[in-house]
Chain A
Amino acid sequence: MIDALRRLWRTPQGVLGSVLLAVLILACLLGGVLAPYSPEAMDFAGRFAAPSARHWLGADQLGRDVLSRLLVGARSTVPLAVAATFSGALVGACVGTLSAYLGGRWDEAITRTIDAVMAIPHLLLALILVSTLGKGSANAALAIAVSVAPSMARVTRSVALAVRQQDYVKAAIARGEGGAWIVLREMLPNVAAPLIIEATIRVAFAIMLFATLSFLGLGAQPPASEWGLMVSEGRRFMHQAPWVIVAPALAIATTAICFNLLGDGLRDALNPRDER
């Protein structure tokens, strides 16, 4: 693990991604302390205040400091999206690998089921789940996990099919190993690298989906300063005060780029064969 991190920091993508991630983690942990104002402190005299020394990123329609809201909002945005993506990815990975390992009719059945679930648009699936389970961030995260899982299962299956053909899997079968050992110990570590890359990239989508759910009133509830919610709230004042929407949008974009870079860096770092 230490080796993988050292290799990660040898690539420029890895360094940049790690730095951005560190900033994000810092915002998640210390957002409330670092924020210059309370995220909910309203100031009607300072509505739509442009970015200045007082409000670095300006103020919104209720005069709330955008920077403070961003910093505090990081905690309700990033960890949930990451957790949702990775739990969904893990489930998807296990199902996909199992499907590739079993092959034949089982593979067919699992793949068709995945196809059927994927035919439902992500947003619709998430909406159905949230409206059944009830509003709130935790349920929204669960809905995102469920909507990530099928596509991850597909990606995993295609990688695992190649791994299935490798002689070490055949050797394990010839040795009389059980299915659980082969899937979890022989195959899964070898499909992990593309999966982690895919999952880190999907974090960006998860943040967007989470924002959409919040926008529709099913995820985070106002006055929470979740970034997606901030974007949707600021949408109405786009021409009047563009910074209200630009700041959270940039934050989402930066987070997405951060995870993309990290994914790129990890791809090299997680492949011990590339160690030169």
Chain B
Amino acid sequence: MSPVLQVRDYALDYVTRDGTQRVLQDISLAIEAGEVLGLVGESGSGKTSLAWAIMRHLPGNAREAPGGRIHLGGTDLVAASSKALETIRGRRMSMVFQDPSTALNPTLTIGRQVSEVLVRHRGLSEKEAWRAATEALEHVDLRDAAGLMKRYPHQASGGEKQRVVIATAFACRPELIVFDEPTTALDVITGARILELFGRLRAETGVAALYISHDLALVSRVADRVAILERGRIVEEAPADRIFTAPTQDYTRRLVAAVPRPDHRLVGDQVTGETLLRAEAIAVRYGRKRLFRAAPAAATEDVTLDIRRGEILGVVGESGSGKSSIARALTGLADYDGVITLGGRRIDRTGGMDRAYRRAVQIVFQHPDSSLNPRQTVADILARPLRLYGGDVSTVPALLEQVRLPAGHARRYPHQLSGGEKQRVAIARAFAARPALVICDEITAPLDVSVQASVVELLLGLRDTHGTAYLFITHDLNLVRQIAHRIVVMRAGAIVDLLDIDAVRQGNVSPYTRQLMAASPAPVG
């Protein structure tokens, strides 16, 4: 039987201002009917370009090398006219995008968008299409499908929207579906349910799928075979279970080694020292009461936690659980009710945070792109806390060395650095203040898995030298189980669990935490 999708010797260039840049090279792959091929690569490896090449929707500056072939069933997609492609896209192959909030048109009802596909490709009348669309939504386990059809995308949750996108993709029974990181923008538990749904639909329809992700652990559970893409080349292709147990290439081995495994602890010591910082009954509210509007609900309510000297306290929760609000309260970025105690001093409002407190509690933000001022050089950025808190400006090269960046980077601007390098500069800035506590707000989330591993390693090294405590906020339970001494699990603004890591290991956890753990299983092998 011939494969559903066959790509042979495909190469792609982008023409930029300073010459052509090769993004894909010697790509050959095949997907059989009913098979899922996982495509894993770090950012910039060309995985999304490949998806768009298959969907035949390349940007204007893309140049395909002659000789490359992409076949869907018996159809040559490279040679197909745009007219022919219109009948293929959506009908014979479709795509599920990363961010469901931008994949749906905000000005059309969900029903219009789903039924449009059916009218267009299956030639149904408006009425039949509406009925079929409702059925399609019911089929992806959406409650009240008929009601949802009349709603606009902003009236649905992220998980619901992604189900709608999936329902649309499956609506015409395509031969091939391209998934581009379909769970990355979703919460862990929502993402896990989407994957369950995908498994079921796949078994029912026998569709072939290309599943693109940066998450090797996730892909190895979803896909039958996994292809590893490095800088536009497929370096290894193997059955999913073999990628983890017996990787043959160096690059794959490095990727596998960088995937966090909860049972592999990176921190060996126990912390039993004195309490460094105590936060009591912290409540954060955004927005204020207005004349015609009541005060909005609190983002966090009655959160009490303490951090010991040199301790790593992990904070886990889904988006909107209030974990970032805690970070904002502790750094004086959001007004709070409650009391923060640092070294015996009580602080009950942001105005009471003096320079000594600000110096002791530093924060590293999630996005290094936005946390470094693009108009300042690295030297300026690092010199500022030194001037502010009384340090020697000539130690900037030493600060850079501490985060393993060459001293020459001091003259660069943030945009001249890679994502990982930027995050290192942000870490160096926090450590320039010689802090007692560093709050890490999802600092590894935007980074590639191998970069993430090196940043974590760097943080642990800095802790060994300076004895700094960390409040490590993340949604990655596996990562936090590797490094934290204690874990706080948050949900809807309240603490669900505050546990020693040993208790987590023994499974002494609340049902919600267990659910979270089940949704982020350890990699196979």
Given contacts A276-B16, A276-B18, contact A174 B371 (CB under 8 A): no
Are A173 and B333 in touch, CB under 8 angstroms? Answer: yes
- Confirm or deny: B1 has a beta carbon within 8 angstroms of a beta carbon on chain A: no
A273→B363 contact, CB < 8 A: no
Which A residues touch B16, using CB under 8 A?
276
- Is the CB–CB distance between B415 and A175 below 8 Å? no
A43 to B373 CA separation, bound complex (whole angstroms): 62
CB-nearest residue of chain A to B288:
A104
Given the known interface contacts A167-B367, A174-B333, A177-B388, the answer about A273 and B358 at a Cβ–Cβ threshold of 8 Å is no
Residues of A within 8 A of B289 (CB): none
Instruction: Give Cα A60–Cα B371 distance, bound, in whole angstroms.
Output: 61
- Shortest CB distance A220–B (Å): 39
**Across the interface, which residues of A come within 8 angstroms of B18, CB to CB?**
276
Residues of A contacting B: mostly: helix
Cβ–Cβ contact A167 & B384, under 8 A? no
Total number of residue pairs linking A and B with CB closer than 8 Å: 57
Please state if B332 and A174 are interface contacts (CB–CB under 8 Å): yes
Q: Which residues of A contact B83 (CB under 8 A)?
A: none
User: What residues of chain A lie closer than 8 Å to B384, measured between beta carbons?
Assistant: 175
Residue contact B358 to A272, C-beta cutoff 8 Å: no
The yes or no answer to A121 lying at the interface (CB within 8 A) is no
A176 within 8 A of B: yes
Interface residues in B348-399 (C-beta closer than 8 Å to A):
353-355, 358-359, 362-363, 365-367, 370-376, 384-385, 388
Q: Please state if B385 and A170 are interface contacts (CB–CB under 8 Å).
A: no
Contact with B along A97-111 (1 / 0, CB 8 A): 000000010000000
Docked Cα-Cα span, A42 to B66, in Å, equals: 75
Say yes or no for B413: interface residue by CB 8 A criterion: yes
A170 to B333, CA, bound (A): 7
| Interface status of A131 (Cβ within 8 A of chain B) | no
B304 within 8 A of A: no
B17 within 8 A of A: yes
Within 8 A of A (CB), among B478-496: none
Asked if residues A166 and B358 are in contact (CB atoms below 8 Å), the reply is no
User: Please, how many angstroms separate the alpha-carbon atoms of A189 and B376 in the complex?
Assistant: 9
Pick from B359, B371, B376: contact of A167, CB under 8 Å: B371
Question: A175 contacts B358, CB within 8 Å?
Answer: yes
B-facing residues in A252-276 (Cβ within 8 Å): 272-273, 275-276
Contacts of A189 in B (CB 8 A): 373, 375-376
CA distance A174 to B429 in the complex (A): 12
A174 touches B375 (CB 8 A): no
Contact with B along A167-200 (1 / 0, CB 8 A): 1101101111100000000100110000000000
| B363–A171 touching, CB < 8 Å | yes
B43 in the interface (beta carbon within 8 A): no
**Complexed CA–CA distance, A2 and B443 (Å):** 36
Closest to B330 in A: A174
Q: Which interface class (under 10, 10 to 19, 20 to 34, 35 or more) fits A?
A: 10 to 19
Q: List residues of chain B with CB within 8 A of the CB of A174.
A: 331-333, 358, 362-363
Q: Is the Cβ of B374 less than 8 Å from the Cβ of A176? A: no
The reply to whether A171 and B371 form a contact with Cβ atoms under 8 Å apart is yes
Judge whether B358 and A176 touch: CB under 8 Å: yes
Q: Given the known inter-chain contacts A171-B363, A276-B16, A276-B18, please indicate yes or no for A176 contacting B413, CB distance below 8 A.
A: no
Of B354, B371, B373, B415, the contact of A190 (CB 8 Å cutoff):
B373
A276–B372 Cα distance when bound, in Å, is 20
- One digit per residue, 1 when the CB lies within 8 angstroms of any chain A CB and 0 when it does not, for chain B 196-238 equals 0000000000000000000000000000000000000000000
In the bound complex, CA of A114 to CA of B376 (Å): 31
- In Å, the complex CA distance between A226 and B353 comes to 58
Q: Tell me which residues across on chain A come within 8 A of B363, comparing CB atoms.
A: 171, 174
**Beta-carbon contact of B353 and A168 below 8 Å:** no
Question: With A175-B385, A176-B388, A276-B18 in contact, is A170–B365 under 8 Å at CB?
Answer: yes
> Is B332 a contact partner of A272 (Cβ separation < 8 A)?
no
B331 & A273 in contact (Cβ 8 Å cutoff): no
* Bound form: Cα–Cα A97–B359 in Å: 26
Chain B residue, CB-CB nearest to A273: B415
Q: How far is the CB of B365 from chain A (nearest CB, A)?
A: 4
Q: How far is the CA of A275 from the CA of B18 in the complex (A)?
A: 11
Question: Contacts of A276 on B, CB cut-off 8 Å?
Answer: 16-18
* Cβ–Cβ < 8 Å partners of A272 in chain B: 374-375, 413, 415
Report chain B residues within 8 Å CB of A168: 370-373
How far, in Å, is B193 (CB) from chain A's closest CB?
31
Q: How far is the CB of A196 from chain B (nearest CB, A)?
A: 13
Q: Which residues of A contact B288 (CB under 8 A)?
A: 104
Minimal beta-carbon separation of B147 from chain A (angstroms): 35
* Complex: chain B residue closest to A177, CB-CB: B388
Chain A residue nearest to B367 in the complex (CB): A167
- Measured between beta carbons, the chain A residues less than 8 angstroms from B331 are 174
A276 vs B288: C-alpha distance in the bound complex, in angstroms? Answer: 45
Q: Nearest CB to that of A272 among chain B residues?
A: B413
B385 contacts across to A, CB distance below 8 A: 175
Assess A175 versus B388: contact at CB under 8 Å? Given A170-B333, A170-B365: yes
Residues of B within 8 Å of A104, CB to CB, are 288
**A176 pairs with B415, CB closer than 8 A:** no
Closest to B415 in A: A273
Cα-based distance from A177 to B387 in the complex (angstroms): 11
A114 to B405, CA, bound (A): 47
A175: which B residues are within 8 A, CB to CB?
358, 384-385, 388, 433
User: Which B2-36 residues have a C-beta within 8 angstroms of A?
Assistant: 16-18
State how many angstroms separate the Cβ of B466 from the closest Cβ of chain A: 18
- CB neighbours (8 Å) of B17 from chain A are 276
Contacting pair B332 A173 (CB below 8 A): yes
Please, how many angstroms separate the alpha-carbon atoms of A102 and B118 in the complex?
Answer: 51
Chain A residues near B332 (CB-CB < 8 A): 173-174, 176
Residues in B neighbouring A170, C-beta threshold 8 A: 333, 365, 371
Q: Tell me the residues in window 379-428 of chain B with beta carbons closer than 8 Å to chain A beta carbons.
A: 384-385, 388, 413, 415
In the complex, A189→B363 CA distance in Å?
Answer: 23
Quick check: A176 and B373 within 8 Å, CB to CB?
Answer: no
Complex Cα distance, B17 from A51, in Å, reads 47
Inter-chain CA distance A104–B287, complex, in Å, is 9
Shortest Cβ gap from B299 to chain A (Å): 16
Q: How far is the CA of A276 from the CA of B16 in the complex (A)?
A: 9
**Closest residue of B by beta carbon distance from A170:** B333
Nearest residue, chain B, Cβ from A189: B375
**Known pairs A173-B332, A174-B332, A176-B359 / 12 extra A-B pairs, C-beta < 8 Å:** A166-B370, A167-B370, A168-B372, A170-B365, A173-B333, A176-B354, A186-B373, A190-B375, A272-B415, A273-B374, A276-B16, A276-B18
- 9 closest A-B pairs by beta carbon, nearest first, are A167-B371, A176-B358, A189-B375, A167-B365, A174-B331, A168-B373, A167-B370, A273-B415, A166-B370
Write the residues of chain A forming the contact surface with B, with a CB cutoff of 8 angstroms: 104, 166-168, 170-171, 173-177, 186, 189-190, 272-273, 275-276
17 contacts between A and B (CB under 8 A): A166-B370, A167-B366, A170-B333, A171-B371, A173-B333, A174-B363, A175-B385, A176-B353, A176-B355, A189-B373, A190-B375, A272-B375, A272-B413, A272-B415, A273-B415, A276-B16, A276-B18
